[in-house]
Amino acid sequence: MKILLVFDFDNTIIDDNSDTWIVQCAPEKKLPIELQDSYKKGFWTEFMGRVFKYLGDEGVREDEMKRAVISMPFAPGMVELLNFIRKNRDKFDCIIISDSNSVFIDWVLEATNFLDVFDKVFTNPAAFDSSGHLTVGNYHAHSCNRCPQNLCKNVVLVEFVDKQLKQGVNYTQIVYIGDGGNDVCPVTFLKKNDVAMPRKGYTLQKTLSRMSQNLEPMESSVVVWSSGVEIISHLQILIKE
């Protein structure tokens, strides 16, 4: 019987947003106004597709993008947390559900030797095409009206847990570690025994705190974190129980 740890990536594992970080590769480290203005709410992945095309057209190559991405700092205490999870792999399964992309996440986890900590990464598929442009697609299609059209993290989480159950893996609880607006949907579906761990001062924490003020029902407990070291302390309590 294991605990399932679910991580977001941007502003949770790493201390920035990989999609906005990559803009430093652009000429003068900024995007043209018309490209910036082309973003429509709920269609971030399409917008990033245009950003990657622009970078490619401007001659920004894969190795340059990789250097930028792997220079992103980890969130405070995150290295310690991932090492703690690695030492306790018999007690945890660990997945990432992220609105970043597969290329960026692989680069970071490979460069930092943390690929082995995660059982599965669910994110938007990306690859370099024959002309050296990074292309990105939607992770899936779904019918949830709360989430951007390319990814509902709750659908992903529920499907993963169901699939594991069919293979005889039943989790005692789920611990969800995230920060953003698109983490609200999966967190509100957590059950009584589960733990939502929003990062202090970020959208998820502010939203959950507003929900509790409005007395909107939420079954799971909520534990706020600023450093991965605080998450370790909480996980140590859970595995002792």
Tens of each residue's pLDDT in the chain, 241 residues? 899 999 999 999 999 999 999 999 999 999 999 999 999 988 899 999 999 999 999 999 999 999 999 999 999 999 999 999 999 999 999 999 999 999 999 999 999 999 999 999 999 999 999 989 999 999 999 999 889 889 999 999 999 999 999 999 999 999 999 999 999 999 988 999 999 999 999 999 999 999 988 888 788 999 999 999 999 999 999 998 7
Report the side by side order of strands in the sheet with 221-222: 120-124, 92-101, 2-7, 171-178, 195-198, 221-222
**Distance (Å) of CA 41 to CA 8, 185, 201:** 20, 17, 22
Pairing status of strand 195-198 against strand 221-222: parallel
Q: Which residues pair with 174 in a beta bridge?
A: 4
Model pTM score: 0.95
Element (H, E) at 229: helix 228-240
Q: DSSP per residue over 158-208, as a string?
A: HHHHHHHHHTT--EEEEEEEE-SGGGHHHHHT--TT-EEEEBTTSHHHHHH
183: annotated active-site residue: no
119 annotated to bind ligand? no
Q: Is 99 annotated as a binding residue?
A: yes
Any binding-site annotation on 15? no
Concerning whether 93 is annotated as a catalytic residue, the answer is no
93 is in an annotated binding site: no
Q: Are 225 and 197 in contact (CB under 8 A)?
A: yes
pLDDT in the model for residue 42: 83
- Among the listed residues 10, 93, 183, 194, the single catalytic one is 10
Cβ–Cβ under 8 Å, residues 42 and 149? yes
Coil/strand/helix, residue 121: strand
What is the per-residue pLDDT for 214? Answer: 86
Show the CA angle centred on residue 230, arms to residues 173 and 165, nearest 5°: 15
